[in-house]
């Protein structure tokens, strides 16, 4: 799961950097990153993992060598928070 989160953060950072390189405007690049993230995590979006993994369905994951069980909606919430933290407010 962490690999998926990291890959999606890298995708978001790529949106930011490519917009910054093309336009040279950090505020515009930040806006593009936020808009892209919003389109992905919204209900029905590509990163709507609650829909993909289902509600109240259990999944087994390994955390620090220990087996844990989480629900599909937890996967969605963890991903939302992890990727959302890559959207710091511009200075």
Q: Is the pLDDT of residue 48 over 60?
A: yes
Query: Quick one: pLDDT band at residue 8, thresholds 50, 70, 90?
Result: very high
Q: Is the pLDDT of residue 71 over 60?
A: yes
**Which pLDDT value is given to residue 89?**
67
Average pLDDT, the chain: 94
CB count in 10 Å sphere of residue 76: 20
In whole angstroms, give the CA distance from residue 48 to residue 43: 6
**Could you tell me the two tokens for 54?**
């289902």
Q: Write down the domain spans for the chain.
A: 2-84
Percentage of residues in the chain with pLDDT exceeding 90? 89
Q: Is the pLDDT of residue 37 over 90?
A: yes
């Amino acid at each position: 799961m962490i690999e998926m989160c990291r890959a999606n953060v890298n995708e978001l950072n790529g949106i930011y950097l490519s917009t910054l390189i093309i336009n040279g405007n950090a505020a515009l690049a930040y806006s593009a990153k936020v808009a892209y993230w919003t389109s992905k995590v919204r209900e029905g979006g590509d990163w709507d993992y609650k829909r993909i993994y289902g509600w109240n369905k259990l999944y087994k994951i390994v955390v620090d060598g220990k087996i844990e069980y989480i629900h599909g909606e937890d996967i969605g919430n963890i991903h939302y928070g992890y990727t959302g933290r890559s959207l710091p407010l511009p200075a």
